Amino acid sequence: MTKILIAHDSALVRKAICDIISESTNTYEIITCCDGEEAVSKVVSEKPDIIIVNMYLPRKNGSEVINTLTSKKIRFKAILLHGEAKEDIDAASVFSGMKEVKCVSVPFHIFGSGHKKFKADLSEVARFLINSSSSGLFGNESLVSSQEKIVPKPSPRAESVFSKVNSTSASVTSGNSKRIIAIASSTGGPQALHVMIKMLPPLGVPVVIVQHMPKGFTFSLAERIDSESKLKVKEADDGEELKPDIVYLAPGGRHLEVYTRNGKGYARVFDDPPVNSLRPCADVMFNSLAKTHYDDIVCVVLTGMGRDGTDGIQFLKKHKHVRVITQSQETCVVYGMPKAADQSGITDVSAPIDKVADAIRKELEVK
């Protein structure tokens, strides 16, 4: 008998999902819980064939549940439920490369006009996961407890920070210690960053990124991009030194600033109130760079709604040597943030997403 775990903090939604599953001619054993910590515990103890987990849960959100199970080497298949807002869709998209994690959009009024589509989507994805025969970390093999030792096969993800950091290009010079790349992105940003970062060669400078995302989702985004990139990609830790050829991503739901101590750059990660309703906020990051030792800065503005980044770059340009690259309209999911920069007159180069890495390289070439 197929066993399904439903993790959702709304009793109404849990009931709706149970009803959808129960309409099938197949027989299922259904287990429910209302928070992320309990979901992880029940996956370990109950060993469900599929987990249906909400993106936003108390104690651990859906992303943290998936990350925790992955880190414990627990095999599972998951359906991640997310809202219809663009930011929710973007947040869920970090799992698009995982064949055994499928995402389903939940309508705002689950029993309204969107119920029929939600029912069809959920049923189709559940059938696909039940019938799939993929193997590996996620698969049809029996789930294993977190206490079992599993020796993973070697993979590109096992590449050390040391090896990535030391594969620098011939164009690197000691003068790059005062250079830095700073990137802002929002709606459509996860996909854009995935394309752009993996095309970025080692240039001997640190990279800092603000991607508008809620807490818990940037860890998976950084991990996915890192697995395909020449540079090391990670979430920024508060107080860590910014090193060449490492990409530091602002943790979801937290601001990121850059500061200087003893001639070296460091990250500050903190939980101050949102700025312009955003946390993290790109303007906060760009503003902080004005007070650092970095005097040669390449700012990049990628797809996203609103104008976050433009005001910060305008302020930064008053204090530093700044070059600005924006993602061209035709490759943006939402041409909002790049448009604001373009219309303000601060853009030096506008390029399609698959040409942005080359534009950055050209801006950092040693003259």
List the catalytic residue out of 63, 93, 185, 186.
186
Annotate 4-53 with DSSP letters as a single string.
EEEE-S-HHHHHHHHHHHHTSSS-EEEEEESSHHHHHHHHHHH--SEEEE
Query: What is the distance, to the nearest Å, from the Cα of residue 292 to the centroid of all Cα atoms in its chain?
Result: 27
For 354, other C-beta atoms within 10 Å of its C-beta total 12
Q: Does residue 212 have an active-site annotation? A: yes
Q: Does residue 135 have an active-site annotation? A: no
Cis amide bond preceding 280, omega within 30 = yes
Q: Does residue 342 have an active-site annotation? A: no
Closest to 95 measured CA to CA, from 121, 65, 118: 65
Query: What is the distance, to the nearest Å, from the Cα of residue 340 to the centroid of all Cα atoms in its chain?
Result: 23
Q: Give the angle 361-363-364 at the CA atoms, nearest 5°.
A: 65
List the catalytic residue out of 88, 226, 245, 308.
308
Query: What is the distance, to the nearest Å, from the Cα of residue 235 to the centroid of all Cα atoms in its chain?
Result: 9
CA-to-CA dists, residue 54 to 253, 263, 319, angstroms:
18, 45, 45
List the catalytic residue out of 8, 82, 194, 212.
212
- Give catalytic residue positions: 186, 212, 308
